Amino acid sequence: MSNLSICIVQSELVWENRSENLKHFAGLFERDLKEQVDVIILPEMFTTGFTMNVVSNYDVMDGETVNWMKQISVQYKTAICGSVIICEEGSYFNRFIWVYEPDHQIQYYDKKHLFCLAKEDRYFKSGNKNILIQYKDWNISPFICYDLRFPEWMRNTNLAHLQIVAANFPKKRELAWKSLLPARAIENQCYIAATNIIGNDGNGIEYNGQSAVYSFEGETLISCLDRSTIQLVSLDKHSLSVYRRAYPFLKDSDNFKELLIME
């Protein structure tokens, strides 16, 4: 399969209210999702907003959120993904969850770079490994928000065709968001799909969306601007493969794990 159709979902969130957010997204899909898609992409902490109130808002891997994702996957015959607060063995994770229920496929990535300015590192446990999701002949790597600032972590050593960034990225850092996303796409020679939220959260922080999909050359394929919207785009793997053969830059990239720091 050469093409992959993805759906970016940009919306406000109900602060710390899982059931209302799941109900809200289900309503959006029923109203606006009129075409068959391969992947639905939701933002970071899509059930709660970017809260540090983990004790009152966590879920578990066999809880309400994952079961809801399974139902959506079956109903729309699609994969669905996004990040939520998960408690596991007494620790809390900002976890990106990927669900494709027709194949009983559930995979997850725990956010590596915890946002210290919001004290995320005090409440959550950091992940320590990248993952590669193989789906419909595509290689997909997920990341979460603050990871975007660390190119060595997002280095495309596994030759992902698509990198996904689920985020709660505030309006006041919009320039960084718009600069880093195409940069990651260009340097990693892959598509980037990034989803953000709009509105104000429970801490009064303003978000203005700007969810987008970029090509491997940094071209904007879709832009959600600052409104509530569902947008679809089809990604062409053949074009990506042709481009990589013509410009094999990834072969010359550094392996940061092998570099020595010389004093």
Please state the three-class secondary structure of the chain as a single string: CCEEEEEEEECCCCCCCHHHHHHHHHHHHHHHCCCCCCEEECCCCCCCCCCCCHHHHCECCCCHHHHHHHHHHHHHCCEEEEEEEEEECCEEEEEEEEEEHHHCEEEEEECCCCCHHHCHHHHCCCCCCCCCEEECCEEEEEEEHHHHHCCCCCCCCCCCCEEEEECCCCHHHHHHHHHHHHHHHHHHCCEEEEECCEEECCCCCEEECCCEEECCCCCEEEECCCCCEEEEEEEEHHHHHHHHHHCCHHHHCCCHHHCCCCC
Reported as type and span, the H/E element at residue 214 is strand 212-214
Residue 13, pLDDT score:
98
Helix axes 18-32, 64-76, angle to 10 degrees: 10
Residue 158, pLDDT score:
87
Torsion of CA 154, 155, 158, 163, to 10 degrees: 40
Residue recorded with tokens 């994770």: 93
pLDDT digits (tens, 9 = 90+) for 14-68: 999 999 999 999 999 999 999 999 999 999 999 999 999 999 999 999 999 999 9
Residue 5 has pLDDT above 90, yes or no: yes
Residue 254, pLDDT score:
82
In CATH terms, 3-257 corresponds, of 2.60.120.10, 3.40.630.30, 3.30.365.10, 3.60.110.10, to 3.60.110.10
Residue 110 has pLDDT above 80, yes or no: yes
Q: Where are the beta strands (DSSP E) in 47-183?
A: 79-88, 91-100, 105-110, 133-135, 138-144, 162-166
Given pLDDT bands bounded at 50, 70 and 90, which one contains residue 256?
low
Bridge partners for 169 per DSSP: none
pLDDT digits (tens, 9 = 90+) for 115-173: 999 999 999 999 999 999 999 999 999 999 999 999 999 999 889 999 999 999 999 99
Residue 258 has pLDDT above 90, yes or no: no
What residues does each domain of the chain span?
Answer: 3-257
Global pTM value = 0.96
Residue 253, pLDDT score:
86
DSSP 59: B
CA 88 to chain centre: 21
pLDDT digits (tens, 9 = 90+) for 193-233: 999 999 999 999 999 999 999 999 999 999 999 999 999 99
Q: Dihedral sign, CA of 252, 257, 262, 263? A: positive
Positions marked catalytic:
44, 111, 145
Residue 192 has pLDDT above 60, yes or no: yes
Q: Where are the beta strands (DSSP E) in 147-189?
A: 162-166
Residue 257 has pLDDT above 90, yes or no: no
CA–CA dist 231, 242 (Å, integer): 26
Average pLDDT, the chain: 95
Calculate the alpha carbon distances from 159 to 141, 156, 166, 240 in Å: 9, 5, 20, 11
